[in-house]
Structure 1
Amino acid sequence: MGYQEFYQLKFEPFANLPDPRFYFNSPQHALAKEYLMHAARGARGLAILLGDIGTGKTMLVRKLLTELQGTGKYQVGMIVLTHSEFPTGWLFSKIANLIGLSDLGTTSTEIISRISSRLREIYRRNERTIIIIDEANKLKSPDILEEIRGLLNLEIADTRLISFILSGLPELESFLMMNRALYQRIAIKVKLKPMGSETIRAYIAHRLKIAGAQHQIFTPMAQEIICRYSDGRPRLVNIICDNALLEGYVQRKKTIDETIIERVISNLGLRFE
Structure 2
Amino acid sequence: MTRSRSRKLLSRILWLDPDAGNAPESAPIAADSAVDPVPDIPTYRDRSLQPTPPREFRESSLPASTRVRSRLLPNEPPVVRTPDLYTEHFGLKVRPFALTPDPEFLYWPPSHQRAYTMLEYGVRAHSPITLITGEVGAGKTTLLLHLVRSLGSELRVGLVSNPHGSRAELLRWVLHALEQPAEIEESYVDLFSRFQNFLLSEYAAGRSVVLIFDEAQNLSAEALEELRMFININSGKDEVLQLVLIGQPELRDLVSRPEMRQFAQRVAASYHLGAMDLKTLRGYIPHRLRVAGCERRIFTAPAITMIYEQTKGVPRLVNQLCDLAMVYAFTRGRQLVTPAILQQVLDDGVFFPASAPRQTSETT
TM-score (norm. length: structure 2): 0.68
SS at match of 1:216: coil
Q: Deviations over 1:61-112 (max 9, x none)?
A: 22222222xx222111211117x4x144122112222223226793433332
* SS of residue in 1 equivalent to 2:283: helix
Q: Percent identity?
A: 29
1:101 and 2:184 correspond: no
Name the CA distance, whole Å, in 2 between partners of 1:64 and 1:269.
Answer: 31
Q: Match for residue 61 of structure 2? A: none
**For the residues of structure 1 that align with 2:354 and 2:219, how far apart are their CA atoms?**
32
Alignment counterpart, residue 291 of structure 2, candidates 210, 213, 219? 210
Measured at CA, do residues 164 and 251 of structure 1 come closer, stay the same or move farther in structure 2, by a change above 3 Å? Answer: same
- For residues 202-245 of structure 1, the C-alpha deviation after alignment (integer angstroms, 9 at most, x for no partner) is 11111111111142111222112212222011011111100110
1:9 partner amino acid: L
Q: How does 1:217-232 map to 2 (within 5 A)?
A: 217-232=298-313
> Aligned-pair distance for 1:271?
7.8
Give me the whole-angstrom Cα distance separating, in 1, the residues matched to 2:188 and 2:139: 37
Where does residue 239 of structure 2 map in the other structure? 160
Is the partner of 1:173 in helix, strand or coil? helix
Is the aligned partner of 1:189 residue 2:189? no
Equivalent-residue separation in structure 1 for 2:295 and 2:190 (angstroms): 59
1:29 paired with 2:112, answer yes
Give the structure with the larger helix fraction: 1
Structure 2 Cα separation of the partners of residues 14 and 79 of structure 1: 26
Q: Whole-Å Cα distance in 2 between the matches of residues 212 and 256 of structure 1?
A: 17
Tell me if structure 2 keeps the 8 A contact 1:99–1:118. no
Paired residue type of 1:229: Q
- Tell me the distance in 2 between the aligned counterparts of 1:66 and 1:247: 36
SS of alignment partner, residue 157 of structure 2: strand
Q: What are the ranges of 5 or more consecutive residues in structure 1 without an aligned counterpart?
A: none
Structure 2 spans left out of the alignment, 5+ residues = 1-5, 7-84, 357-364
Change (3 A) 1:272 1:254: farther
- 2: CA distance, partners of 1:168 / 1:25: 20
Mapped contact 1:228–1:272 kept (Cα < 8 A):
no
* Secondary structure of the structure 2 residue equivalent to 1:232: coil
Q: Which protein shows a greater Rg?
A: 2
Total equivalences in the alignment? 268
Match of 2:97 among 14, 33, 37: 14
Q: d(CA) in 1 for partners of 2:114 and 2:352?
A: 33
What SS class does the counterpart of residue 49 from structure 1 fall into?
A: strand
AA aligned to 1:126 is G
Evaluate the alpha carbon distance shift between residue 131 and residue 269 of structure 1 in structure 2; reply closer, same or farther with a 3 A threshold. closer
Q: 258-267 or 71-80: which moved more?
A: 258-267
TM-score by length of 1: 0.90
| 2:208 partner amino acid | R
Following the alignment from structure 1 to structure 2, what is the Cα–Cα distance between the partners of residues 139 and 131?
A: 14
Instruction: Please report the RMSD computed on the Cα atoms of aligned residues, expressed in angstroms.
Output: 2.2
Q: Which residue among 192, 195, 216 is the counterpart of 1:115?
A: 195
Paired residue for 1:259, among 340, 354, 362? 340
